[in-house]
Amino acid sequence: TDPEFQYEKAVYYFNNAEYSRSLELLENLLTLYKGTEKSEDIYYYYVYNNFHLKDYISTIFHADNFTSNFISSPRNEEIAFLSAFSHYNDTPRYSLDQKKTTNAIDALQNFIQTYPDSDSVKVATNYIIILNKRLEKKYFENAKQYFSTGKYKAAIHAIDYFLDDYPETDLREEISFIQVKSYFEL
């Protein structure tokens, strides 16, 4: 029943990687300490517990709330990067819908624009490159699929769009060959 003891135990559990137990205690403490100096620390641990439990949607939500509620916090850059990184971790493999991938790219670019001097900018840039490669693979496979199913006109147009979007792709030779074969079959 002692909130101070609960907080100490929550931090203890967090430091010992018992994130579920820590999260449960912190949820109770969020309302008890709302508006106090300790609320920032509690929310900080709360965000990280969600992240370590791989609940990326909750991490994104609470990290964004953290930066909104604690505007002058020295932890904002760290939490903003955690939010962007959670967007990255929440992206699906290339064969699925890529809405979350474009959201992750936007979140990472927003982080770079907001904190251009951050040590994490290089990492965020690398994640953007990885996500763009995933999108490239998705559109490449879509164009290739049109050819495989005998929809040669659609394949030609899809390849044109692909080459417009990714002019320096490593897949240029293969996709161009598929386009030539599509013209031939057509």
**Which amino acid is located at 137 in the chain?**
K
Count other C-beta atoms under 10 Å from residue 128's C-beta: 20
**CA-to-CA separations, 113 to 4, 72, 92, 107, 151, in angstroms, rounded:** 39, 18, 25, 10, 42
Residues in contact with 48: Cβ distance below 8 Å, sequence separation at least 6, in sequence order = 14, 82
Per residue in 169-185, pLDDT tens? 999 999 999 999 999 99
Rounded to whole angstroms, how far apart are CA atoms 103 and 111? 12
Question: For residue 37, what pLDDT is reported?
Answer: 86
pLDDT of residue 35: 84
Ranges under pLDDT 50 in the chain: none
Give the global pTM: 0.87
d(CA 114, CA 9): 35
